[in-house]
Structures are given as structure tokens and as C-alpha cells.
Amino acid sequence: MTRLGILIFWLLHWLPLALLAPFGRVMGGLFFYLAAPRRRIALTNLRLCFPELDEAARRRLARRHFQALGRSLFERSLLWWAPAERLRRIVRIDGLERLAACYDAREPVILLVPHFVGLDAGATRLAMEIDAVSVYSRQKRNPALDGLLYHGRSRFGDQLLLTRQDGMRGAVKAMREGRPFYYLPDMDYGRKDAIFVPFFGVEAATIVGLPRLARLGKAKVLSCVTRMLPDSGGYVLEIGEPWADFPTADVEADTRRMNAWLEGVVRTMPEQYYWVHRRFKTRPEGQVRLY
């Protein structure tokens, strides 16, 4: 990101959400036509996951996804620079008492966070309430953007940010010391530590980190889903009840359970899931590439 780009984003955070939200949707709709490679990835994912939809319906859903993605992108200016009082109005939390009960008791917690477009809004808002640990990917090719992302994720409270190169040992240690782990396990990270389990009926390489980390950290798992509200309504972060009977002795069954739960949530707001990611990039031996 250039200095001019940073300046533009800084200026955007002064806009009311009633103007910023539609601006982001318009820009996202433009990206749908301009970002052809990502559009093809999204349409491929939707074809695989929603075979019951015809091509026109999938294309409409993809366009709505890009609009939501564009809105979340430009609303990051709020996450990076808006004052806490404004962010509290924009992002509401439902179920905070469930997390607070564990947090106050210093019980290890994993927050299961799917890749919905509002996840950064949820993370920033939650940072005003708790000190957590999370793992992020460094933007080595764009130090300015990397600095902004780090700033946005650490500007409130005492957040512990680990890189993927740090591994998970530090996250487990932080959990045991009382920091909830803001954990995003639903992408294709390759074959390492992954098994193939269904996601929307398609075999997907899925890391087995959730049950293993829950066992290592003796942690409770709470779902943590951020929904972008329609029009310019802001966001709501929903924290669920601790998962019962998790983890079990069957890592594959636990990983299947995670994907089945995720699929159910995605179906409630399919336009907000991160379809521009090549979720089915890694294939079982002998299967053809899908992208």
C-alpha cells in the first residue's frame, strides 16, 4: 500500500457508515468485473458448494459476495483509526457473557472464527473486552500494509500477535495463561497437519488443529461469528455456547464436526463467506485440479 493509499483510507474513516457502506458495496461490485482471477475462483467454489443453483444464481451470489468484501475492505479504515466509542456503536457483541465466564475463571478458550468478511471487525471489537492471542500472516511484500494490519489488530488492549512462522506452541502457552485464542482454521493450508473431510459435500484438505489444540490446551471451544448487517447497519459478533463433548478421541470425527458446523453457518449468510480463497486447492491423490 502506498502513502497515497494510506492517506485515502485515513480520510475514509471520517465518513459516516451510511456513506462508507454503500461506497464499499459499489467498489466491491466494480472489483467483481475487474478482478477476473478472483471472480473465477469464487464462481468455481460456488459451483462446487451450491450445485443446486443455476449459473445465473451463482453469479448473482458471487456479485453480492464481492460487494460485501468491498464494504469490509473500506470499513477497515474504521478499525484502524475510528475511536473506541464509535466502534462500540458499529459492532455489537451477543453472548459476551459466555466468554467472560471462562475468561474471568482463567479457563483456556479457543474462539472458532470462520473466514467471514466481518472477522476483522469482530476481532477489533473483541479486543476492547479481552486480551487474546491470534496468529496472522505477515505481508512481507507490502510492509506498509503489514504495519497497518498489525496496528489494527493491536490498538486496543494487550493483544499477543504471533506469526505463522512462530508455530502453535506460543498460542497454547498463551491459552493456558488465560488468553483466548482467536483461531481461524477453515482455509486450505496444504497437506501438512490436514486430512480430507467433506465441506459442502466436497473433500477439502482441513487442518486438524482445532481438536488437537483443544486437547493440548485443555481448552473449551466457543464459536465466534461476525455478521455484516444489511445496508449500513454495522456488525454483530455472536459468541456461542462452549461445545459439548469436544474434543473426542476421534480427530477425524471432530474435524468433520467442525466443517459441518461451518457449513451450517455459511448457509445462513453465503454471500459473506470468503469465496475468493481457493478452498479446494489441495486435492486427494489422483484427483484433478479444480482451479
- Write the DSSP string, 160-184: EEEEGGG-SHHHHHHHHTT--EEE-
pLDDT of residue 82: 96
Residues 73, 74, 79, CA angle at the centre, nearest 5°?
Answer: 85
Q: Which of 70, 75, 74 is nearest to 30 (CA)?
A: 70
SS3 129: coil
**Alpha-carbon span 99 to 111, nearest angstrom:** 9
pLDDT of residue 87: 97
Q: Quick one: DSSP state of residue 130?
A: -
Q: Which of 18, 6, 22, 8 is nearest to 142 (CA)?
A: 6
SS3 244: coil
Q: Which three cell numbers stand for residue 97?
A: 457473557
pLDDT of residue 2: 75
DSSP string covering 203-247: EEEEE-HHHHHHHHHT-EEEEEEEEEPSTT--EEEEEEEEPTT-S
Cis peptide upstream of residue 114 (ω within 30 degrees of 0): no
Question: Rounded to 5 degrees, what are φ and ψ at 159?
Answer: -85, 140
**Buried b vs exposed e over 216-229: b needs ≥16 C-beta within 10 Å?**
bbebbbbbbbbbbe
In the chain, % helix, strand, coil (3-state, to 5) comes to 50, 15, 35
The whole-angstrom distance between residue 143's C-alpha and the CA centroid of its chain comes to 22
DSSP string covering 72-116: HHHHHHHHHHS-HHHHHHHEEEESHHHHHHHHHTT--EEEE---B
pTM score, two decimals? 0.94
Q: Which three cell numbers stand for residue 178?
A: 488465560
pLDDT of residue 163: 84
**Alpha-carbon span 14 to 99, nearest angstrom:** 32
pLDDT of residue 147: 81
Residues across the chain: 291
* Contact indicator for 41, 275 with CB cutoff of 8 Å: yes
* Contact indicator for 205, 188 with CB cutoff of 8 Å: yes
pLDDT per residue of the chain (291 residues) written in tens, 0 to 9: 677 888 888 999 999 999 999 999 999 999 999 999 999 999 999 999 999 999 999 999 999 999 999 999 999 999 999 999 999 999 999 999 999 999 888 899 999 999 999 999 999 999 999 999 998 877 777 787 778 888 888 899 999 999 877 778 899 999 999 999 999 999 999 999 999 999 999 999 999 999 999 999 999 999 999 999 999 899 999 999 999 999 999 999 999 999 999 999 999 999 999 999 999 999 999 999 999
pLDDT of residue 117: 98
Q: Quick one: DSSP state of residue 194?
A: E
pLDDT of residue 167: 74
Q: Quick one: DSSP state of residue 287?
A: P
